Amino acid sequence: MTGSMNSFEQVMKNIDLKLSNLNKRKGVGATLEGVPDIYKNILISQKNLVSKILKENIKDIYSLPAGEKTFDRPFIGNLSINAGSVANLFGLFIQNTPFYNISSGLNNNIEKYVRNVFNDNYDYLTRLKPDEIVLFEGFLRPFLESMAIYLRSKFEQGDSDNMDNFSNTCSFCGSEPSYGFLKSDDETQNYLMLECSKCGSAWRYYRVQCVFCGEEDPSKLEIFKSDEYGNAGLQYCKTCKNYFKIIDLRNDQTLIPEIEDILTIPFDIWMHKNMPLEISANAVL
Rounded Cα distance, 10 and 31, in Å = 32
Neighbours of 126 (CB within 10 A): 7
**DSSP assignment of 105-152:** HHHHTHHHHHHHHHTT-GGGGGGS-HHHHHHHHHHHHHHHHHHHHHHH
Q: Which domain holds residue 232?
A: 177-274
Rounded Cα distance, 36 and 30, in Å = 8
List the one residue out of 47, 50, 51, 22 whose CA is nearest residue 37. Answer: 22
Report whether 205 contacts 179 (CB < 8 A): no
Note the pLDDT tens digit of each residue in 54-99. 998 777 788 766 554 544 556 676 677 888 889 989 988 887 776 6
Looking at the fold, whether 55 and 155 belong to one and the same domain comes out as yes
Looking at the fold, whether 54 and 138 belong to one and the same domain comes out as yes
Residue 142: per-residue pLDDT: 95
Task: Domain count for the chain, please give it.
Answer: 2
Note the pLDDT tens digit of each residue in 113-157. 898 888 777 778 888 888 888 889 999 999 999 988 887 777 644
Q: Parallel, antiparallel, or unpaired: how do β-strands 221-225 and 242-248 relate? A: unpaired
> Average pLDDT over the chain, rounded to whole?
82
Chosen domain end from 138, 163, 188: 163
Chosen domain end from 130, 163, 196: 163
Looking at the fold, whether 268 and 242 belong to one and the same domain comes out as yes
pLDDT category, 53, cuts 50, 70, 90? very high
Looking at the fold, whether 143 and 14 belong to one and the same domain comes out as yes
